[in-house]
Amino acid sequence: MKTKLYAIGVGPGDPELLTLKAKRIMNSVDVLLCPVKKMGASSYALEIVSPNLDEDVHVFELLYPMHYDKDALNTQWIENGLIISNLLKSGKSCAFITLGDPTVYSTFMYTLPYIDEAYFDLEVVPGITSFCAVAAVAKQPLMLWEEGLTIIPVRKNDREALMASIQAHENIVLMKPTSDTSAIISILKALKLEDKFMLISKVGREDTLVITDIEALEKGKLPYLSTMIIKKGGFYA
């Protein structure tokens, strides 16, 4: 018999950016699946939902280490898929909570192929993405009219491809720009985009930081949780 598996986006960090649907479902399932970096460590997704989580919900931790060894990760996903399959097989409905939106770089989607499809019906509950939260803090449109938007995760040692992408597009979101800040600074200068960027850090926290000055970008030790918006048409005053 099939039971229900939900993938729930909990948004970028502010507990109030949870949807009504996410709140209802996470409090109605038998098991709430929470990704953690280390067993026993705190889960950021769980912190976000905590203020709206009923006391009697059964929280179950799943290990998702923060490294990039794909073989080791894959082994972990298979193991997590097996754990989730067993929970579903025993008839327990499950909700997997994920930062932001489940379709945007989420651990859930890496695990999904390893969950035995005999045991569940999947429902994906969308969440607020980090780039929309960042644009909200910046009070800037990501795109208008007939403009497109390109979202690029920044990698180390990939300067040429990054340069080509930034050159080719009108509106750009760079995810994890601190992966190669110096490359971004030189690209912004080379393309004369010094006045066309905003870097926003720590969205949804008290110490949110917005940098629009290229010199501040050069001097600053930038937080890991940063996002950059580049708009060639410029920003609202």
Residues that bind a second copy (CB under 8 A): 9, 11, 14-21, 23-24, 52, 101-106, 109-110, 112-113, 122, 124-129, 132-133, 135-137, 139-153, 155, 165, 168-169, 236
Our CB check for a second copy shows the closer of 129 and 221 to be 129
CB-nearer residue toward a second copy: 145 or 221: 145
Give bridge partners of residue 35 from the DSSP assignment. 62
Smallest gap, in angstroms, from Cβ of residue 48 to a second copy? 11
- Residue entry with tokens 């930062």: 99
CA atoms in the 13 A half-sphere facing the CB of 148: 5
CB of 221 to a second copy, least distance (A): 24
Q: How far is the CB of 11 from a second copy (least distance, A)?
A: 7
Which residue in this structure is represented by tokens 């937080």? 223
d(CA 88, CA 4): 8
Could you give the CA distance from residue 32 to residue 179 in angstroms, rounded to a whole number? 32
Cβ atoms of 211 and 220 closer than 8 Å: yes
Looking at beta carbons only, is 14 or 214 nearer to a second copy?
Answer: 14
Pick the closer one to a second copy by CB: 70 or 221.
70
- Using CB atoms within 10 A of its CB, is residue 156 exposed (0-12), middle (13-18) or buried (19+)? exposed
Task: Tell me whether residue 209 or residue 214 sits nearer to a second copy (CB atom).
Answer: 209
Q: CB of 215: closest distance to a second copy in angstroms?
A: 27
Closest distance to a second copy from the beta carbon of 49 (Å): 11
Structure tokens at 115: 């969950």
